[in-house]
Amino acid sequence: MSQSPGASTPDPEPADTPGLEPGGGVAPGDTPPGESSATAGLSAHQPKVGSTGSNWLVYAGVGAVVALCALFFIGYAVGLLD
């Protein structure tokens, strides 16, 4: 692979990489050489998480809905038993 004198690639040169078989693969149990594109998809930043107060508000809302559903089904079951 010919390159200009100032350019370099982070990918390993196959001719200089130890442990490669003639087809470019590695023997069973060997670790293949790393590639520069292996972490290409990890550059996106994760969104910020909301404040703790808003998280507790969401938890309380979900808990209230679950409690109302449970009371509804308990009331329905008690009504069927009478």
pLDDT, tens only, 5-19 = 666 667 767 677 767
**Low-confidence winner among 10-14, 36-40, 45-49, 77-81 (lowest mean pLDDT):** 36-40
CA 14 to CA 7: how far, in whole Å? 17
Average pLDDT rounded to a whole number, residues 57-75: 95
Taking a C-beta distance cutoff of 8 angstroms, is the pair 22, 16 a contact?
Answer: no
Q: pTM for this one?
A: 0.40
Q: Which amino acid, residue 1?
A: M
**Residue ranges of domains in the chain:** 20-81
Burial label, 33 (beta-carbon count in 10 A; 0-12, 13-18, 19+) = middle
